[in-house]
Structure 1
Amino acid sequence: MTTELSFPIKTSAIDSEKDGYDVKHDATEEERGALATRFGLVGLPAFRFTANVKPTRSENGFRLRGRIIADVIQTCVATLDPVTAHIDQPFEILLFDETDDRAAPIDIEEDYETFSDDLIELGEIAAIELALSLDPYPRVPGAKGDKTGPGADTGESPGGRGADQERENPTHRPFEGLAALRRNR
């Protein structure tokens, strides 16, 4: 599997660490550019993650506790201007070997991922956590209108009446015409 942010660790290295296996990674400019392209960002000036991986008590998996820290630039959904945001997000995931018969129980309520070939791809997990932390509808503070779609920048709703007109006449009844047709039958 190829990923924009590759940071694999061997599970055998985790087993030998009493307090778990600590990881810290600052993404390179190339990695940040690839992640920005993948997630449709204008830019990703900074991205790093820290993590600690420990064997679980049941010894058939690992617990990953980490944090992602990023500065992202997205496009405002209303004005199409750049929107900057700072992300500082902790996360916790259980990891199970996909070839292990004792892998993740069906009734597990925690987030979990699988790994294979004695390798856990921490970079991809961090990238997924970044994607989950992004604002799906970023807006510039004070954005008024939407430059796309029906009625854009005209104050007019898709139905044809302006929003200002609807506020001026709060007794507007959209089905009044239908009621008149029914009376004329």
Structure 2
Amino acid sequence: MTDVEFSRPHRLDQIGAGESDVRITADEGERAALSTRFGLKAIEKLEAVYHLRRDAQGVVARGHLSARLTQACVVTGDPLPAKIEQDFAIRFVPEPTTTGEDEVELTEDECDTVFYAGGMIDLGEAAAETMALELDPYPRSPRAAEVLREAGVKSEEEAGPTKALAGLKDLLAKK
């Protein structure tokens, strides 16, 4: 297991023949560390419910992630509250060895793949990564457009290709 902010190792030998359910919740320190890692102002809540079962390739984890967090506007830095409610499907498979082991074939509708080494999977790190994938990469506050306009930044409509090519159309019409 690697040293991560929100680690919840789960032993593979605890997953029986059927499905097993696991609920994890990040504590205050873990949420603060993840906030730093992902560049967030705060994470108020992070929890996940897993339904685990073995299959021929490894372990399939289906479940639901819930998070309440605060991002910063990319323009103003204003706090922007966000809520994530996301169902997920993850397939934990053993790390490939360097001896040329066969590749794992996945179809388009298959799960996200997470590799593990040894006899444990890390449900906490999988939840943290699932949350990170759902974050808005460019969150903007209601004030963002006004602040950009005051700084002289043109909107997409003002700087769009039709404006830039309007003069070219007139030049071509004169020929």
Say yes or no: TM over 0.5. yes
Q: Which has the larger radius of gyration?
A: 1
Q: Is the 8 A contact 1:68 1:87 kept in 2?
A: yes
- Show the counterpart of 1:88: 85
1:172, CA displacement in angstroms? 9.0
Cα separation, 2, equivalents of 1:24 and 1:63: 15
RMSD: 3.0
Query: 8 Å contact 2:58–2:94 — kept in the other structure?
Result: yes
CA distance in structure 2 between the aligned counterparts of 1:157 and 1:171, rounded to whole angstroms:
13
For the 8 Å contact 1:78–1:145, the answer to whether it is kept is no
- Report the alpha carbon displacement of residue 129 of structure 1 after superposing the two structures with TM: 0.2
- Kindly state the Cα deviation for residue 125 of structure 1 after the two structures are TM-superposed: 0.5
Unpaired segments ≥5 residues, structure 2: none
2:29 is matched with 30
Query: Relative to structure 1, is the Cα distance of residues 90 and 104 closer, same or farther in structure 2, using a 3 angstrom cutoff?
Result: farther
Shift, 1:154, TM fit:
4.2
C-alpha distance in 2, partners of 1:10/1:50? Answer: 16
Residue in 2 aligned with 1:157?
154
CA deviation string 1:118-158 (max 9, x = no partner): 110111110100100101111224642345xxxx5145539
* Closer, same or farther: CA 78–121 of 1 in aligned 2, 3 Å: same
Question: Partner residue of 2:38?
Answer: 39
Match of 2:139 in 1: 138
CA distance in 2, matches of 1:39, 1:54: 30
For these two proteins, the number of residue pairs brought into alignment is: 163
Amino acid at match of 2:26: A
Matched-pair contact (CA < 8 Å) for 2:76–2:143: no
Within 5 Å, give how 1:1-185 maps onto structure 2.
Answer: 1-14=2-15, 16=16, 18-56=17-55, 58=56, 60-98=57-95, 105-109=104-108, 110=110, 111-141=112-142, 143-146=144-147, 153-155=150-152, 157=154, 173-174=166-167
The alignment-based identity, stated in percent, is 33
- Distance change >3 Å, CA 36–CA 29, structure 1 → 2: same
Q: Which runs of 5+ in 1 are unaligned?
A: none
TM-score relative to the length of structure 1 = 0.74
Aligned amino acid, residue 131 of structure 1:
A
Higher relative contact order (CA 8 A, sep 6+): 2
Shift in alpha-carbon separation, 1:172–1:97, aligned structure 2, 3 A: closer
1:48–1:69 Cα contact (<8 Å) kept = yes
Higher relative helix content: 2
Q: TM-score normalized by structure 2?
A: 0.78
Q: Distance in 1 between matches of 2:153 and 2:9?
A: 53
Residues of 2 paired with 1:52 and 1:21: CA distance?
A: 6
